[in-house]
Amino acid sequence: MRAMSREAKRRGISYDELSDQLTPEELYLLSENLPDVTRWGLVPDAEITVEPPENRLVAAARSGDWWPAAAALAERTDWDRRSALVEALAEAAAEDKDWLRSWRAEAPGDVNGLVVQTEALVRLAWKVRGAAPAKDTTDAQFAGFHRLLNEAHQSAERACAAAPEDPTPWVSLLTIARGLRVGHERFRQWWAELIARAPAHRSGHTQALQFWCAKWSGSDEQMFGFAEAAAADHPSLAALPLEAAFEASFGHPKIWQERRIRTQTDALLAWLAEGGATGPYARTEHSIAALALVETKRYDLAVAQFRAIGRHADAWIWHYTELPRLKFLLARGEACRKAKRP
């Protein structure tokens, strides 16, 4: 309250007027109990951004120079890294398609441009739909959503035929399956095609987990069964059971107190310590671990994960709310406040 009073005085307005003007994030940053996270070796709150680190290939493509990205995709055979680059390019194209149109027009036979186009259509479809529950989504939004997903479906089929060894367009199909509600049999056919090409595909497993969750086409039981079986088969998928717990926590917040969560968190920490921290989804893995550790009150370990994350709060787990930066700051602040003194 003293900090808010000082800020109101600085602005020349009353305390009540300041309360009406401040965003939730600004209120947090004025909190009297805000820890100095730099004492734990973390970057200051003011430096946290929800944007990913700049990718030079994506930045060049945004400026119209898509050739370096096309060349990188042509050489990339690490399927997870390929997917990560396709996803970053597709996200950029969903915001501004001009450079992708140029790519497709100037190199119509380049299958990599087709693969990026497919995923860009998927992402654009979800932007048109919005993140609101179905009851709060308009008929016009749903119409645009389904139209774009059908376009993406056609594009994905062309990409799968043009690059039969590439699992990436099959990942897009898994996301399309969720939005179009294609049914379990069709989904399993597409899933079989993906894992035949990349049995431990990281992004593909996350998309499949979403298909099997209760809010889409499955149930908590199916989602956890899928996640735990995948993690048992592939240590690189150790984060999946915690992704399932996060998904289930919206209806069952006490799930974090279940005994298995500690074991699953330890498995993810082991994977990160053994080499997983160098992968293309490392910040996502660290973020999932950090949130699970805060939820299970293992604050010192959580601080270490926040240290590994750095300044980029771009992982999807923070973006499930309208205030991802605040969600990140709140979790990080709680970890420091309740951890041992540095």
pLDDT value of residue 21: 65
Sequence-ordered list of residues with C-beta below 8 angstroms from that of 61, at least 6 positions apart, any chain: 68, 69, 89, 92, 99, 100, 103
pLDDT value of residue 31: 61
pLDDT value of residue 2: 56
pLDDT value of residue 7: 58
Report CA-CA distances (Å) from 114 to 81, 105, 190, 338. Answer: 17, 11, 19, 49
For the whole model, what pTM was predicted?
Answer: 0.90
pLDDT value of residue 11: 72
Kindly give the parts of the chain with pLDDT less than 50: 4
pLDDT value of residue 236: 96
pLDDT value of residue 277: 86
pLDDT value of residue 20: 65
HEC letters along the chain: CHHHHHHHHHHCCCHHHHHHHCCHHHHHHCCCCCCCHHHHCCCCHHHCECCCCCCHHHHHHHCCCCHHHHHHHHHCCCHHHHHHHHHHHHHHHHHCCHHHHHHHHHCCCCHHHHHHHHHHHHHHHHHHHCCCCHHHCCHHHHHHHHHHHHHHHHHHHHHHHHCCCCCHHHHHHHHHHHHHCCCHHHHHHHHHHHHHHCCCCHHHHHHHHHHHCCCCCCCHHHHHHHHHHHHHHCHHHCCHHHHHHHHHHCCCHHHHHCHHHHHHHHHHHHHHHCCHHHCCCHHHHHHHHHHHHHHCCCHHHHHHHHHHHCCECCCHHHCCCCCHHHHHHHHHHHHHHHCCCC
pLDDT value of residue 16: 64
Sequence-ordered list of residues with C-beta below 8 angstroms from that of 10, at least 6 positions apart, any chain: none
pLDDT value of residue 8: 61
